[in-house]
């Protein structure tokens, strides 16, 4: 898709993993995926590959509530994908 074409390598892998994670979270809570995070937010995470909650804090679309709720699983995905892909 056009959205992911801007991302390459590890970032593209992470973005896809984040989208899969978001889909399952949305399904679990019975809400549309975009209410969990917008694509733009997931792209930014994939581009920056943050390693800490502080790293996530500066990303648009991640407020205090979402940071607390989703911060750890997001970091785990980034860490796992970026580690495993190399």
In the prediction, which pLDDT does 48 show?
Answer: 95
In the prediction, which pLDDT does 30 show?
Answer: 98
In the prediction, which pLDDT does 81 show?
Answer: 83
Q: Measured in whole angstroms, how far is the alpha carbon of residue 48 from the centre of its chain?
A: 10
pTM for the structure as a whole: 0.87
Instruction: Give residue-wise pLDDT tens across range 46-85.
Output: 999 999 999 999 999 999 999 999 999 999 999 998 776 5
Locus of tokens 């995470």: 45
In the prediction, which pLDDT does 5 show?
Answer: 56
State how far the alpha carbon of 75 is from the alpha carbons of 16, 18, 80, in Å: 14, 10, 8
Q: Minimal CA–CA distance to 50: which of 81, 8, 25, 22?
A: 81
In the prediction, which pLDDT does 1 show?
Answer: 47
């Amino acid at each position: 898709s056009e959205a992911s074409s801007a991302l390459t390598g590890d970032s593209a892998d992470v973005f896809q993993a984040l989208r899969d994670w978001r889909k399952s979270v949305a399904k679990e809570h019975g809400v549309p995926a975009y209410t969990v995070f917008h694509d733009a937010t997931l792209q930014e995470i994939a581009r920056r590959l943050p390693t800490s909650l502080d790293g996530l804090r500066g990303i648009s679309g991640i407020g205090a509530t979402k940071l607390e709720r989703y911060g750890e699983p997001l970091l785990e995905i980034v860490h796992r994908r970026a580690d495993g892909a190399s």
